[in-house]
Chains A and B, each alone.
Chain A
Amino acid sequence: MLSGLLEPLQNDFIIRALFTGIFVGTACANLGVFLVLRRYALLGHGLTHVAFGGVAVGMLFSAQPFWSALVITALSSLGMLKLQEKARIHPDVAIGIVSAVGMAVGVVIASVAGGFTVDLMSYLFGSILTISPEEFWISLFISVLIIGFIAAFYHDLFALTFDEDSALAIGIKVKRFNVFFALISAVTIVIGMRVVGLLLISALIILPAVTSLQLSRSFRGSLLIATASVVVSVVAGIMISYFYDLPSGGTIVLLNFGLFLAASLINRFFLKHEGN
């Protein structure tokens, strides 16, 4: 039975998929804790629409969609940050506008470039099982950079997530970190679109974080639980999708949701939290 379970590991593409999923998932989950607590979860979702536009632009010019999506999403993310700071538009609305426009651009260009190809679909739904060695190494490298950044600046990031004003008062460069958050969100979405696809990547950012909020009492604990839950869901998701021929992106997200439900039940019945 065990050897049957391990059988998929004999395939290179499964190994690549597992590692990509674990590393990218970890980056998503850790970033997600910060985004959810800072109330920027919607930003992540909005960026996925922009990334779609970026992918379509890349395909139109026969460039690597990965890089065109990266540049366009990063610029849009910074643009949304600027909009929030300067204009008198509510952040929700700013995100709504930019993401709708990004999606519309993608849809129009896609049809001009020859319709919705299988290739384009793979960016929408993810194709972790067909990740090329090149994409694998790039995703891994970028994930490690993101996780490393969060680890290196953990205390400052925690301080500004807890209370921005107090963080400013003790000399933390909040504006600079907000720019980094904007860029890292963009990058995380672009590397994540191969794992579960653009339609679902925001789930990988939000769900592990929300799961951890049901269970954790410390900040360190939240990051660990979020990471654990995304790793479990990615590994199980890939294996299940392999054995039962299911789409891996959707399976991973459903498992994430299952973990969230389990965590909520544990919280409700076993943990002493105020308000329960």
Chain B
Amino acid sequence: MSQIKKGQVVEIKGVSFGYNYHPVIEGINFSLSAGDYLWVIGPNGSGKTTLMKLILGILKPNRGRVALFGKNIEEFTDWRRIAYVPQGIVFFDPFFPATALEVATIGLLPEKKVPKRIGADDRKRVLSAFEKVGIAPLAHRRIGELSRGQRHRVLLAKAIVSNPDLLLLDEPTAAVEPGVREDFFKIVDDLNAEGTTIILINHDIVGMGVRNNKILYINRTQIFFGEGGEFCLADEMGNYFGSFQHIICHQHPGEE
């Protein structure tokens, strides 16, 4: 992993975004330091994925500023420090002609300079990412033949192969089989332990058990941002999670 400079990994200041005067998110303010693990929650349609796209520079905010590693996102070019596991390719073509290995190799591109060449060493790195994620035997299978959960693990391997400083995951376990869910979160936990900053969007409250230390709750506007411990005391959490609030707070590391 590259040297992380002192300062914020992610800075979101007064960010709003919408289409044609229809706001999707408004007034988002938070920042993350290196090694933070942010859990983003909110109901469907609350703008969580939009926020993620703003952080990745796929969308540009109508108002406010997004900064990554101390640089305004417009000037930011060091994309190899950031990796992204999307929600699941919604219109995925099951006949897309690519092996799992080819897809995961895309993760190495940000560190390559033109002419981009993928060599034997690179292939080894991708294969070891596959082993970490538990899908080594699937490397040469066509991506469309894999189950949704397996495909998602390919995308996770693709994200971690470049040893990113910041990893964003959007509902990563929505399609993953229950037994595999824990493994998935363990991998992300391990990465966080090694220093990777994590931003995770996840509905899967029960059985989370992740080591997140910060929580962001948005529903178009920002409802809560703060330390994990604080949120267990907040009323909004009770309203959103109902009886689950107690389950989460008991599972939360550092509680009790």
The residue that B57 contacts in the complex, of A168, A220, A274, A275, with Cβ under 8 A, is A168
Q: A172: nearest residue on chain B (CB-CB)?
A: B109
Indicate whether A213 sits within 8 Å of B94 (C-beta atoms), given known contacts A165-B53, A165-B86, A220-B102.
no
| Distance between Cα atoms of A162 and B151 in the complex (Å) | 13
Tell yes or no: B244 within 8 A of A by CB.
Answer: no
Query: Quick check: B98 and A155 within 8 Å, CB to CB?
Result: no
Are B116 and A163 within 8 A (Cβ)? no
Is B19 in the interface zone, CB < 8 Å from A?
no
| Complex interface: chain B residues within 8 A of A153 (CB) | 116
Q: List residues 149-193 of chain A with CB under 8 A from any CB of chain B.
A: 152-153, 155-156, 158-159, 162-163, 165-172
In contact, A170 and B95 (Cβ under 8 angstroms): no
CB-based nearest A residue for B99: A218
Cβ contacts under 8 Å, B97 to chain A? 37, 212-213, 216-219, 221-222
Q: Does B142 contact A (CB under 8 A)?
A: yes
Q: Which residue of B lies closest to A225 (CB)?
A: B97
Q: How far is the CA of A170 from the CA of B77 in the complex (A)?
A: 9
> Interface size (B, Cβ < 8 Å)?
36
- On whether the beta carbons of A163 and B89 are closer than 8 Å, the reply is yes
A219 CB contacts on chain B under 8 angstroms: 97-99, 102
Complex partner residue of A218 from B77, B93, B102, B110, CB under 8 angstroms = B102
Q: Is A273 an interface residue (CB 8 A)?
A: yes
Give CA–CA (A165, B49) in the complex, Å.
12
CB closest chain-B residue, reference A219: B98
Contact A155 B96 (CB under 8 A): no
- Give A158 to B106 CA distance when docked, in angstroms: 8
CB-based contact A37/B96 at 8 Å: yes
Name A275's closest neighbour in chain B (CB-CB): B94
Most chain B beta-carbon contacts within 10 A, residue among A166, A212, A216, A222:
A166
**Complex CA–CA separation, A163 to B105 (angstroms):** 13
**Residue contact B145 to A170, C-beta cutoff 8 Å:** no
Closest to B143 in A: A162
Distance (Å) between the CB of B223 and the closest chain A CB? Answer: 26
Distance in Å: Cβ of B70 to nearest Cβ of chain A: 18
Q: How far is the CA of A221 from the CA of B107 in the complex (A)?
A: 20
> How distant is A38 from chain B, measured CB to nearest CB, in Å?
11
A222 to B99, CA, bound (A): 11
Set A152, A162, A168, A170: member contacting B98, Cβ < 8 A: A162
CB-CB under 8 A from B79, the residues of chain A are 169-171
Size of chain A's interface in residues, with CB distance under 8 A?
A: 29
Whether A217 contacts B99 in the complex (CB less than 8 A), given A158-B106, A168-B56, A169-B58, comes out as yes
Bound: A213/B98 CA distance, A: 10
A168 CA to B79 CA, complexed, in Å: 10
Interface set, chain B 66-107, CB cutoff 8 A to A: 77, 79-80, 82-84, 86, 89, 93-99, 102-103, 105-107
A216 to B140, CA, bound (A): 12
Q: How many Å from the CB of A180 to the closest CB on chain B?
A: 14
B86 touches A163 (CB 8 A): yes
Q: How far is the CA of A213 from the CA of B86 in the complex (A)?
A: 25
Which residues of B lie under 8 Å from residue A220 when comparing CB positions?
A: 102
Given contacts A152-B115, A165-B53, A170 and B106 within 8 Å (CB-CB): yes
**Chain B residues with CB under 8 A of A156:** 109, 116
Contact with B along A42-84 (1 / 0, CB 8 A): 0000000000000000000000000000000000000000000
How far is A171 from B82 in the complex, measured between Cα atoms in Å?
10
Least CB separation from A222: chain B residue: B97
CB-based nearest A residue for B82: A169
Q: Is the Cβ of B116 less than 8 Å from the Cβ of A213?
A: no
Residue of A nearest to B77 (CB): A171
Q: Least Cβ distance of A246 to chain B in Å?
A: 33
Is there an interface contact between A170 and B109, defined as CB atoms closer than 8 Å? yes
Q: Inside 8 A of B105's CB, which chain A residues have their CB?
A: 155
Q: Does the CB pair B109–A155 fall under 8 Å?
A: yes
Q: Is B233 an interface residue (CB 8 A)?
A: no
CB distance from A157 to the nearest CB of B (A): 11
Shortest distance from the beta carbon of A97 to any chain B beta carbon, whole Å: 24
Chain A: residues with CB nearer than 8 A to chain B?
A: 37, 152-153, 155-156, 158-159, 162-163, 165-172, 212-213, 216-222, 273-275
Q: Which residues does B use to contact A, with CB under 8 Å? A: 53, 56-58, 77, 79-80, 82-84, 86, 89, 93-99, 102-103, 105-107, 109-110, 112, 114-116, 118, 140-142, 144-145
8 extra interface residue pairs, beta carbon distance < 8 Å, beyond A37-B93, A217-B141, A219-B99: A155-B105, A162-B103, A169-B57, A169-B58, A170-B80, A170-B110, A172-B109, A275-B94
